[in-house]
Structure 1
Amino acid sequence: MKIDLEVSEPIDFSLGDHQHLIRKAADESIQSKSGQQDTPSSPDEPQKTRDSPHSKAARRADAFVVYISDENTPDDRGRSLATSFSDASIRKAFIMKVFLILSAQLSVTVAIISMFVFWKALKAWVIANPWFTYALLPAFFVVFIILACCGKLRRQVPANYILLVFFTILQGLLLGTITVFYRAEEVLWATGATAVVTLALTLFALQTKCDFTLLNGMLFVFLFILIIYGIILIFIRSYWLHLLYAALGTVIFSFYLVMDVQLMVGGRHHYSNLSPEEYVFAALNIYLDIINLFLFILQLIGLAR
């Protein structure tokens, strides 16, 4: 049985609106056939009467035309967004934006640390007034939690840039209050070593065929253990335990740096689900990896000297 459908109104096929039209057309077709079988036609009736315009119009009434819309559902739009982000040009623009933001963050941080290291009056004031460090901590964690947890605000311009500027300045001030307890040459050695390690690990993450994004869960467990280890060291004064703590922290955040770079690059890596709007989040992850790497290398150099 052949059924032609013609519908003048749009139909959502995902909701099954077309099924009642098919059943209706099938019922009308069956009724029309049964009516033709119950009403015998005269043998003397001419053939042209059966093919008259009225019969053609009756058959035309059972014809339906279905127009299928090209509009996408929200899931289709999400898949098309992911497909477009897999495009090399879009991913390249995303990576360039992340590295530009990261470069600006690191430049501001280095400038702030330099004031604490080379400005002797400021260095002495910070050592004499520890309340300054304790006052920075609540503001730092508030801005950090907002950036980490409020995804909608993190993707909204210019709020995301304003929060990132505040976060970078607060992070630089906190690092400055830490570096006042080290000598200038130790800070310079740590800065140079961090730059070399960061560059080497970034190039390694871009070239290697190993997928470090699979280590996300394991690195989180190691980070949790490192935090507990650091809390214990507050009450234990041991040179070798502190040296081991600094070495473990350096290794863990080196892996984190490689993993976050691969998450940003995407492509063949298993976990690379960052959207094009998450450039602030990607830059923040890599920035924190570099800062933590700098702190642990600074501890290593300070303990070694």
Structure 2
Amino acid sequence: MSNPSAPPPYDDRNPLYPGSPPQGGYGQPGGYPPYPAYPQPGYGHPAGYPQPMPPIHPMPMNYGPGYDGERAVSDSFGPGEWDDRKVRHAFIRKVYTIISIQLLITVAIIAVFTFVTPVGEFVRKNVAVYYVSYVVFIVTYMTLICCQGPRRRFPWNIILLTLFTLAMGFMTGTISSMYSTKAVIIAMIITAVVSISVTVFCFQTKVDFTSCTGLFCVLGIVMMVTGIVTAIVLSFKYMYWLHMVYAALGAICFTLFLAYDTQLVLGNRKHTISPEDYITGALQIYTDIIYIFTFVLQLLGDRN
């Protein structure tokens, strides 16, 4: 049998790609080169396609502590520190605003009892009015100190504090009416100087009075027992020197209490008062100032 002289037909060409080589091989002009053929991908390296790189898992980038998706905030200088400082400053302003109002009311009552003679004579003759104000003082004081609900709930805290201030002012005015006008004025000046000096000292000093809470508790107990004993002794026989010693001890003790309560309000020591208890802070400092005034007034001893 003779070999055909003509090439085979192009029926075996791929119909989708005209001009491509027949499925059986290469050999037609215009098609792919006959040899060597392109190697199949993945069948060797370096003759075939290079192996793909292993997938790289994306690692989360660390933007530092405090990152909130927009900016990085350092732990040592965050907005919380400034917020706390603002809250404490607002608390201090609120406490001393309340104390200023309380002292103005008290000074006004003392002025009426001291300079208006009929009022002074009336309270001196009617001792029962003094004891009624004393009961109001004790009830409102214990309620504000021991009961957190009325102390933090507006307007009950303001109402109770107003009643307490009026009762305390009435008691202080009654005591002041028993002394001369000169003694009352001098006692007010001394109390103002002591209170301002203690406050400035507490702002500047590094001494932490709040770390000695136990000592102040013992001091308060000693002061209370000494007062009870002194009252019992003086009720039987009046001794001038015992009265003066007790007055001096009371003035010193409540000056220390004022320093302790002032640092509790400032909040930069071991112990502090919560910013929600501004009534407590004002109540304690106001009471300390009034007791300093009454003890200094007794030390002057210039009765009517």
* 1:147 matched to 2:144: yes
* 1:266 matched to 2:267: yes
SS in 2 for 1:161: helix
Code of the residue aligned with 2:223 in structure 1: it is L
Q: Which residue of 1 aligns with 2:156?
A: 159
Unaligned runs of 5+ in 2: 1-79
Scaled by the length of structure 1, the TM-score of the pair is 0.69
Q: How far is the alpha carbon of 1:86 from its aligned partner?
A: 7.3
Answer whether contact 1:85 1:275 (CA < 8 A) is retained.
Answer: no
Q: Please tell me the root mean square deviation across aligned C-alpha atoms, in Å.
A: 1.8
Q: Which residue of 1 aligns with 2:255?
A: 254
Aligned counterpart in structure 2 of residue 181 of structure 1, from 170, 178, 182: 178
* 1:230 matched to 2:231: no
Q: How far is the alpha carbon of 1:84 from its aligned partner?
A: 6.6
Rounded to whole Å, the distance in 1 between the matches of 2:197 and 2:277 is 25
Answer whether contact 1:222 1:252 (CA < 8 A) is retained.
Answer: yes
Rounded to whole Å, the distance in 1 between the matches of 2:207 and 2:136 is 38
Q: Which residue of 2 aligns with 1:289?
A: 288
Answer whether contact 2:187 2:293 (CA < 8 A) is retained.
Answer: yes
SS in 2 for 1:275: coil
User: CA offsets per residue over residues 65-89 of structure 1, 9 Å max, x none?
Assistant: xxxxxxxxxxxxxxxxxx7797211
Answer whether contact 1:99 1:283 (CA < 8 A) is retained.
Answer: yes
Q: How far is the alpha carbon of 1:304 from its aligned partner?
A: 11
Q: How far is the alpha carbon of 1:232 from its aligned partner?
A: 2.0
Answer whether contact 2:223 2:250 (CA < 8 A) is retained.
Answer: yes
- Counterparts of residues 53-202 of structure 1 (less than 5 Å): 87-202=84-199
* 1:215 matched to 2:212: yes
Q: How far is the alpha carbon of 1:216 from its aligned partner?
A: 2.1
Q: Which residue of 2 aligns with 1:77?
A: none
Unaligned runs of 5+ in 1: 1-82
User: CA offsets per residue over residues 140-198 of structure 1, 9 Å max, x none?
Assistant: 21111111111121111111111111110111011111111111110110011000000
Larger Rg: 2
Code of the residue aligned with 1:257 in structure 2: it is L
Rounded to whole Å, the distance in 2 between the matches of 1:270 and 1:139 is 34
Scaled by the length of structure 2, the TM-score of the pair is 0.69
- Counterparts of residues 25-36 of structure 1 (less than 5 Å): none
Q: How far is the alpha carbon of 1:136 from its aligned partner?
A: 1.7
* Identity, % of aligned positions: 41
Rounded to whole Å, the distance in 1 between the matches of 2:252 and 2:291 is 11
Answer whether contact 2:124 2:177 (CA < 8 A) is retained.
Answer: yes
SS in 2 for 1:271: coil
Q: Which residue of 2 aligns with 1:276?
A: 275
Q: Which residue of 2 aligns with 1:26?
A: none
Rounded to whole Å, the distance in 2 between the matches of 1:145 and 1:85 is 35
User: CA offsets per residue over residues 22-68 of structure 1, 9 Å max, x none?
Assistant: xxxxxxxxxxxxxxxxxxxxxxxxxxxxxxxxxxxxxxxxxxxxxxx
Answer whether contact 1:85 1:91 (CA < 8 A) is retained.
Answer: no
Query: By percentage of residues, which structure has more helix?
Result: 1
